[in-house]
Amino acid sequence: MIQAPGSPSVAPEAALAADGSPMGEAARWAVGLLTAPDLTADDVTLDRFVPTTAPGRARSFPARVGEWREKGPFTVLDYQPIAHKGWVTLAGPGGARHTLSLTLDSSGLIRILTFLPEIRIPEIDDWAALEDALRVPGVEHSVLAARLTPDGIEVLHASDADRPMPAGSAYKLYVMRALVRAVEDGELGWDDEVTVRPELRSLPTGDMQDLPDGTRVSVRETAYKMIAMSDNTGADLIADRLGREAVERAVAASGHHDPALLRPFLTSHEVFELGWGKPESRAAWAERDEAGRRELLRAIAGPITVRGSDLGETVHRLGLDWHMNAYDAVRVLDGLRRDSARDTTGTVEHILTAYPGVAFDPERWNRVYFKAGSCPGVMMFCWLLEDAEGTAHVLVLRQCADEQKPIGDGLFLRGLGSRVVNSPLLTAKAVR
């Protein structure tokens, strides 16, 4: 489980019982499914799930809970809530450990609930140990740990950091930079609204795809969901309001090492539609130059035809993703830190700090920005952490593979990030 080393020891049952947040309520209910002594199939309802839960899942859920319960009885070993995500570690007979993972939507309902064998995260005492942990057959990886100084980027550790790799939803950092610029230039206000339309609706993550056509949402709330919950439809609504060219300018202004890699700048809707829609569109994207690709995007415009169940085969090697190197991530995060410093309303800071990704010591880190990114075969996590002296440190972890299975659901990479964030590695002196 993701555990902050050196964090205070609190009885997990007491922590779970005392959490009055929507996550606490949902986690107690989910744990009760596994531990209540007289639970019957009729008691296993989907009332706490988002209404868009598939009918097939509704039919199979009681049986799945029954299979989970057969692995018990369980003891709660750890409870870790972080904003809209939560993890409960449970021990079964013989010491077998499992992780109950929850993701809530903005209304507090459960969007994702899984129960899987615990992924054990090795101790990380030095950079060599991190590199050893990341050596997974069939998976390419990259690491960059750096300190931001008045003289520039001071590298603490780097492996394959110059290499462009797919970044998944980390692209939303560029959309956020373009949005801040539009607000600063008076072209858009935080209280202005975007409107949900069929041609802008995407697939999860997030929950804005479930809103009815014509729903109007403030730019502020949409941007918050785009970053804090990685809402794909929210990001597409913002990008549409700004215009593709504005986001492309933000990529260049943020210091991307090769902005042409992100031209034309794709929306999530477009990646889903090209990547897992008609095979001829996917082939056309791989073959065309920038002008041809822009023409293709105009041709596929319209309501999305792809479903989440269609995703499987990886497409990032066809250029269907957002490619950057680790230094690009450092520069865009630092740009957002500067954007926040100029924003007297506090909106940018509120959005960027809403979800830190891992548990951290607030006495050590005054602020934490975090963004994850994933697509089939892609996993990326990046943090900007500012210490008590105001010095910023950045950690970028990336994985890429030809299939999703060796990468998994990201808990392993996130756990390694937690080990580093809560170790002395980022604040140690750089090795010359």
Q: What is the CATH number of the domain that holds 267?
A: 3.40.710.10
Q: Is the pLDDT of residue 177 over 90?
A: yes
CA end-to-end span of the chain, whole Å? 34
Indicate the pLDDT class of residue 2, thresholds 50, 70 and 90: very low
Distance, CA of 343 to CA of 39 (rounded, Å): 52
Give the chain's mean pLDDT.
Answer: 94
Average pLDDT over residues 391-396: 98
Query: Is 239 part of a structural domain of the chain?
Result: yes
Please list, in sequence order, all residues whose beta carbon lies within 8 angstroms of the beta carbon of residue 208, skipping any fewer than 6 positions away. 196, 217, 222, 225, 231, 233, 234, 237
Residue 280, pLDDT score:
96
pLDDT the model gives residue 198? 96
Are residues 422 and 385 in contact, defined by beta-carbon separation less than 8 angstroms?
Answer: no
Q: Is 34 exposed, middle or buried (0-12, 13-18, 19+ CB in 10 A)?
A: buried
Q: Quick check: is 2 in a domain?
A: no
Does residue 348 surpass a pLDDT of 70? Answer: yes
- Inside any domain, residue 153: yes
Close Cβ partners of 55 (under 8 Å, ≥ 6 residues apart): none
Peptide bond into 37 cis (omega under 30): no
In a domain, 3, yes or no: no
Could you say which of 90, 117, 144 is where a domain stops?
A: 117
Q: How confident is the model at residue 176 (pLDDT cuts 50, 70, 90)?
A: very high
Does the structure show a pLDDT above 60 at 432? no
Residue 370 lies in a domain: yes
d(CA 248, CA 289): 16
Confidence of residue 38 (pLDDT cuts 50, 70, 90): confident
What is the residue-wise DSSP string for 110-121?
A: EEEEEEEE--PP
Contact assessment for residue 382 and residue 396, using Cβ atoms and an 8 Å cutoff: yes
244 in the same domain as 357: yes
Cα–Cα distance for residue pair 260/266, rounded to 1 Å: 12
Over residues 309-331, mean pLDDT: 96
Percentage of residues in the chain having pLDDT higher than 90: 89
Identify the pLDDT of residue 39.
85
281 and 180, same structural domain?
A: yes
Whether residue 1 is predicted with pLDDT greater than 80 in this model: the reply is no
Q: How many helices (H) and strands (E) does the chain have?
A: 14, 13
Q: With bands split at pLDDT 50, 70 and 90, how would you rate the model's confidence at 54?
A: low
Identify whether residues 97 and 225 lie together within a single domain.
no
For residue 6, pLDDT beyond 50: no
> Do 162 and 111 belong to one domain?
no
The larger pLDDT score, comparing residue 260 to residue 1, is at 260
Please indicate whether residue 62 or residue 291 has the higher confidence score (pLDDT).
Answer: 291
| CA dihedral (53, 59, 62, 64) positive or negative | negative
What's residue 8's pLDDT? 42
SS3 call for 363? coil
Domain boundary among 89, 117, 145: 117
Tell me the per-residue pLDDT of 56-68, one tens digit each, with 9 for 90 and over. 567 788 899 999 9
Nearest C-alpha neighbor of 190 from the set 217, 220, 225, 216:
220
Are residue 57 and residue 174 in the same domain, yes or no? no
pLDDT above 50 (res 4): no
Residues 240, 337 within the same domain: yes
Domain's final residue, options 60, 87, 117: 117
Answer yes or no: do 79 and 221 share one domain.
Answer: no
In this structure, the answer to whether residues 94 and 188 fall within a common structural domain is: no
What confidence category does residue 10 fall into, taking pLDDT thresholds of 50, 70 and 90?
A: low
- Domain assignment present for residue 1? The answer is no
201 and 348, same domain (yes or no): yes
Q: Which domain holds residue 270?
A: 127-427
The count of domains in the chain is 2
- CATH label of the domain that carries residue 43: 3.10.450.280
Pick 107 or 398 by higher pLDDT. 398
Does 107 reside within a domain? yes
Tokens standing for residue 384: 């900007």
Q: Is residue 122 part of a domain?
A: no
The reply to whether 109 and 242 lie within a common domain is no
- Shared domain check, 391 and 247: yes
- Span 287-305, average pLDDT: 97
Q: Put the strands of the sheet holding 85-91 in their side by side order.
A: 75-82, 85-91, 97-104, 110-117
CA 427 to chain centre: 25
Neighbour count for residue 320 (Cβ, 10 Å)? 21
Mean pLDDT value across residues 227-236 = 98
b/e burial code for range 98-122 (CB count within 10 A of at least 16 → b): bbbbbbbbbeebbbebebeebbebe
Q: Please tell me whether residues 72 and 167 are part of one structural domain.
A: no
